[in-house]
Amino acid sequence: MVLARRQIRIRGVVQGVGFRPFVHNLARRLGLAGYVLNSSAGVVAEVEGAPAALDSFVESLRTEAPPLARIEEMFVAEIDPLGERDFAIRESQAREGEFVLVSPDVATCPDCYRDFTDLANRRYGYAFTNCTNCGPRYTIIRDIPYDRPNTTMAAFRMCAACQAEYDDPGNRRFHAQPNACAECGPQLSAPISEARRRLREGEIVAIRGLGGFHLACDARNDGAVRLLRERKRRSDKPFALMARDVAAVEAFCAVSDDDRQARASARRPIVILPRLADSGISAAVAPGNNTIGVMLPYTPLHHLLFSGAPYDALVMTSGNLSEEPIVTSNEEALDRLRPLADWFLLHNRDIYMRADDSVVRTFEGVERVLRRSRGFVPRAIDLGMEVAEILACGGELKNTFCLSKGRYAVLSQHIGDMENYETLVFFEETLANLKKLFRVEPRAVAHDLHPGYLSTQYALRVPDLEKIGVQHHHAHIASCMAENGLRGKVIGVALDGTGYGTDGQIWGGEFLVADYGGFERRAHLRYVPLAGGDAAVRQPWRPALAYLADTYGAAAEFPELAIWRDVPESQRKLVRGMIAQRVNTIDTSSCGRLFDAVAAIIGVRQQINFEGQAAIELETIAADGVADGYPFALEGDSVDFRPAIERIVAEVRAGTPAPMIAARFHNTMAEAIMEVCRRLRAQEKLNRVCLGGGTFQNMKLLARALAGLRRLDFEVFIHAQVPPNDGGIALGQAVIATEILRRG
Ligand code: ZN
Ligand code: ZN
Ligand code: FE
């Protein structure tokens, strides 16, 4: 028989997903000899046998790969036969500088669920059950290749039964690195029945999970939820829920088919869903919000928390002190979460990388990521083009950073608001880890232009490397372009709360003509003077006064408006004085502040307790089925909403209901977007529009703008796997920096 031998190198998500046993079984089935191993670049196999069998081997690698595997690239080379007889799985090889795709954490698979819920199974009730198809990955991996000694499972020695599974290529747990059982594996600090009893009785329990601690309580127990809110000093920001199963979710949320799919995926993110009235879920879970964020259990521990319990939904909020990173270690939890929790459920499988729960929303049948973390990270984004090795440090709020190399960009998990030392430390730890895992040695550092951002300051302190400052809204648009694989120029509409402009003012209502190499700011919301720095963000009545002054002059009186009733006269006078004299004011074209201003003028809210709250409430109340809008003016590069403000004030005085005004305002913003894009198309012959920035988390605005632009035959691109908010700008910074380096 003629023998041939081929070497096959596979890149992609091929480690920790049962790929080697699959290759092993396939080779055996086809009667081939050779070996397979994990390398730091992916998987390498050599197979030897009849040429026809080799062909079907290569073919089957693609068509029969395990469910969690994702083959990005496969190189096949003919090499000389060695006359081998056997097929073996060999020791892993680490090679310097290679790029391997590390798997994110994967929710419990149905087979494992069966194992720990089956009385007769040796893993019955075991909270750390996993296999090659599921379990912890990114959160426990210290280095590649992905082998047990390189994970936090190194501390546990497998018992004979587990070892036998691990060594058996026919077993689902063959080379499952976190494989364990109650005999040999991680343990809980107390019986899970005690956690269930305490939750049932209304206690707040701190639970060590996969990527960090949660604070949990019964979501239907109003007293417990209120107490948790009080202890967390979190007055309005919504809490996420975990529901027992799909049926439980449907008892309190309206669930579409797309939502069902997003929620049931192996990533198990928090899915934002419309909440049903009278659902019995405590109103304190998400005050003033008609949506609710719900996830399903994603570890055996979570499933067991619900098993036989009377509750069907738990609040599962991050175990942290207000804006600090989620707590991961037992010691830290017992120390810092002590004032928040009545009791602790700990375990001894260490969390190497902290990861919050991810948040998604579905729109037009596609899962849209709002917070990209557990289950998504560190899945690399294939850019379809070569990029430089860059560290992009991201923004300030909802910070993530980005490392790029080869054709990939890796976005870090959600780091959080970079406003304190703890978050900066988390940033640095995660950066060190991802650089190591992906073998990235950046040759340049990209950063936001805002000199006050901790991420900018960090970037500027990195020794030796070239620094590339990237304008915030340019980064938003480049991020959207990169995610959608676009090249060349586009019209970019970047709407958000705050981004530092090249003129030193605060931008946020920006219309750009941009490519990766640069941008022109072709139009923006008309500047208004914002008084009082950060207070202007926390108090929507301040931008409201700015818009009123801009529209009517500084002295105009509007006793009918809620501001005149709700804001003390002394404060109002002070701020109006600041605006009139331009003392401690900064000019802004922020779209977020315009939403705030309208919310304040129509009496929705004068004071916010979390980022975007007033805009979210304005979206929430906006009536459906309203088609008309308000006038606005386009003059030069200025998008002037004063005509709209005039009409809004007139309607408030005439008693028009707020939901009508809110709807018309949304329509007006969509109209303005359409009109500016139409003009830019006429001037530039560009037909592609990218929408980016946190304002596009507003589904009512997004839907109206998209529908309108498509009616005008624009080709419109929006985000899906990368957040439209500042959690996505690091990706834009990385591709822009690459282009700037390329152009020298
Ligand atoms: Zn499993
Ligand atoms: Zn065991
Ligand atoms: Fe932004």
Q: Are residues 535 and 454 in the same domain?
A: no
**How confident is the prediction for the chain on average, in pLDDT?**
94
Is there a contact between 582 and 527 (Cβ–Cβ < 8 Å)?
no
Q: Which of 96, 111, 135 is a domain's end point?
A: 96
Residue 320 clears pLDDT 70, i.e. is over it: yes
Query: How far, in Å, is the centroid of ligand 2 from the Cα of 493?
Result: 55
For residue 159, being part of any structural domain is answered with no
- DSSP letter string, 31-50: T-EEEEEEETTEEEEEEEE-
CATH number of the CATH domain containing 397: 3.30.420.360
Query: How far, in Å, is the centroid of ligand 3 from the Cα of 729?
Result: 7
Find the mean pLDDT for residues 362-372. Answer: 93
Residue 32 clears pLDDT 80, i.e. is over it: yes
CATH number of the CATH domain containing 353: 3.90.870.10
Residue 41 clears pLDDT 80, i.e. is over it: no
For residue 184, being part of any structural domain is answered with no
Q: Are residues 634 and 681 in the same domain?
A: yes
Q: Which ligand is nearest to the CA of 113?
A: 1
Q: Which ligand is nearest to the CA of 162?
A: 2
Q: Are residues 303 and 403 in the same domain?
A: no
Query: How far, in Å, is the centroid of ligand 1 from the Cα of 172?
Result: 8
Q: How open is the CA angle 553-557-559, to the nearest 5 degrees?
A: 150
pLDDT bucket at 323, cuts 50 / 70 / 90: confident
Q: What is the pLDDT of residues 602-619, one digit of tens each?
A: 999 999 988 899 999 999
Q: What is the pLDDT of residues 654-705, one digit of tens each?
A: 999 999 999 999 999 999 999 999 999 999 999 999 999 999 999 999 999 9
Joined tokens for residue 121: 């199974």
Residue 263 clears pLDDT 80, i.e. is over it: no
CATH number of the CATH domain containing 565: 3.30.420.40
DSSP character for 147?
-
Q: Are residues 219 and 317 in the same domain?
A: yes
Query: How far, in Å, is the centroid of ligand 1 from the Cα of 115?
Result: 9
pLDDT bucket at 16, cuts 50 / 70 / 90: confident
Q: What is the pLDDT of residues 197-253, one digit of tens each?
A: 999 999 999 999 999 999 999 999 999 999 999 999 877 899 999 999 999 999 999
DSSP character for 83?
-
237 vs 707: CA distance, rounded Å: 30
Q: Which of 62, 96, 130 is a domain's end point?
A: 96
For residue 517, being part of any structural domain is answered with no
pLDDT score for 334? 97
pLDDT score for 103? 86
353 vs 434: CA distance, rounded Å: 10
Query: How far, in Å, is the centroid of ligand 1 from the Cα of 170?
Result: 15
| Residues 6+ away with beta carbon under 8 Å from 675 | 634
Find the mean pLDDT for residues 625-632. Answer: 97
Find the mean pLDDT for residues 440-467. Answer: 96
Cis status, amide bond into 145, omega within 30 of 0: yes
Q: Which ligand is nearest to the CA of 477?
A: 3
Q: Are residues 201 and 324 in the same domain?
A: yes
Q: Are residues 479 and 550 in the same domain?
A: no
For residue 111, being part of any structural domain is answered with no
Q: Which ligand is nearest to the CA of 726?
A: 3
For residue 417, being part of any structural domain is answered with yes
pLDDT score for 94? 64
Q: Which of 36, 68, 96 is a domain's end point?
A: 96
Q: Which residues is 44 bridged to in the sheet? A: 9, 37
CATH number of the CATH domain containing 65: 3.30.70.100
682 vs 634: CA distance, rounded Å: 15
Q: Which ligand is nearest to the CA of 132?
A: 1
| 671 CB neighbour count, 10 Å cutoff | 19
Amino acid at 363: F
- Give the rounded percent of residues in the chain with a pLDDT score beyond 70: 99
| 718 CB neighbour count, 10 Å cutoff | 20
CA nearest neighbour of 340 among 354, 361, 326, 360: 326
193 vs 305: CA distance, rounded Å: 8
Choice among 289-293, 350-354, 526-530, 732-736 with the minimum mean pLDDT: 289-293
Q: What is the pLDDT of residues 56-111, one digit of tens each?
A: 999 999 999 988 888 988 999 999 999 888 999 887 776 655 667 788 999 999 99
Residue 264 clears pLDDT 80, i.e. is over it: no
Query: How far, in Å, is the centroid of ligand 2 from the Cα of 68?
Result: 24
pLDDT score for 256? 84
102 vs 505: CA distance, rounded Å: 41
Cis status, amide bond into 659, omega within 30 of 0: no
Q: Which ligand is nearest to the CA of 612?
A: 3
Q: Which ligand is nearest to the CA of 494?
A: 3
Q: Which ligand is nearest to the CA of 696?
A: 3
With the CA atoms of 190, 191, 193 and 196 taken in that order, what torsion angle do they form, in degrees rounded to the nearest 10? Answer: 30
Count Cβ neighbours within 10 Å for each residue of 500-532 and write b for 16 or more, e otherwise: bbeeebbbbbbbbbbbbeebebbbbbbbbbbbb
For residue 588, being part of any structural domain is answered with yes
Query: How far, in Å, is the centroid of ligand 1 from the Cα of 299?
Result: 10
Find the mean pLDDT for residues 305-322. Answer: 94
Q: Give SS3 for 295.
A: strand
260 vs 4: CA distance, rounded Å: 48
Residue 38 clears pLDDT 90, i.e. is over it: no
Q: Are residues 730 and 668 in the same domain?
A: no
| Residues 6+ away with beta carbon under 8 Å from 72 | 11, 12, 13, 101, 382
pLDDT score for 99? 67
> What's the length of the chain?
744
Joined tokens for residue 663: 């709807």
Query: How far, in Å, is the centroid of ligand 3 from the Cα of 524?
Result: 14
| Residues 6+ away with beta carbon under 8 Å from 649 | 548, 551, 558, 561, 601
Query: How far, in Å, is the centroid of ligand 3 from the Cα of 486?
Result: 20
Q: Are residues 317 and 263 in the same domain?
A: yes
Q: How open is the CA angle 305-309-312, to the nearest 5 degrees?
A: 85
Q: Are residues 547 and 420 in the same domain?
A: no
Query: How far, in Å, is the centroid of ligand 1 from the Cα of 165?
Result: 13
Q: Are residues 475 and 542 in the same domain?
A: no
Query: How far, in Å, is the centroid of ligand 2 from the Cα of 394?
Result: 43
Residue 120 clears pLDDT 80, i.e. is over it: yes
CA nearest neighbour of 698 among 679, 673, 680, 730: 673
Q: How many domains does the chain have?
A: 4
Query: How far, in Å, is the centroid of ligand 3 from the Cα of 661?
Result: 26
Q: Which ligand is nearest to the CA of 298?
A: 1
Query: How far, in Å, is the centroid of ligand 2 from the Cα of 163?
Result: 7
| 191 CB neighbour count, 10 Å cutoff | 11
Q: What is the pLDDT of residues 553-566, one digit of tens each?
A: 987 888 899 999 99
Domain that holds residue 409: 376-484+723-743
324 vs 317: CA distance, rounded Å: 13
Query: How far, in Å, is the centroid of ligand 3 from the Cα of 428?
Result: 22
Query: How far, in Å, is the centroid of ligand 1 from the Cα of 182?
Result: 16
pLDDT score for 331? 97
Q: Which residues is 352 bridged to in the sheet? A: none
Query: How far, in Å, is the centroid of ligand 1 from the Cα of 651?
Result: 59
Please report, for residues 48, 199, 553, the alpha-carbon distance to residue 314 in angstroms, rounded to integers and kept in the order given. Answer: 54, 9, 51
Query: How far, in Å, is the centroid of ligand 2 from the Cα of 179?
Result: 7
Joined tokens for residue 389: 């090795």
Query: How far, in Å, is the centroid of ligand 3 from the Cα of 424?
Result: 19
Q: Which residues is 359 bridged to in the sheet? A: 270, 371
pLDDT score for 35? 94
574 vs 315: CA distance, rounded Å: 42
Q: Are residues 445 and 594 in the same domain?
A: no
Query: How far, in Å, is the centroid of ligand 2 from the Cα of 28?
Result: 28
Is there a contact between 398 and 359 (Cβ–Cβ < 8 Å)?
no
For residue 186, being part of any structural domain is answered with no
Is there a contact between 157 and 216 (Cβ–Cβ < 8 Å)?
no
Q: Record the pTM.
A: 0.92
Q: Which ligand is nearest to the CA of 398?
A: 3
CA nearest neighbour of 165 among 115, 125, 91: 115
For residue 694, being part of any structural domain is answered with yes
| Residues 6+ away with beta carbon under 8 Å from 300 | 108, 112, 113, 116, 126, 127, 128, 129, 130
Q: Are residues 248 and 318 in the same domain?
A: yes
pLDDT score for 293? 96
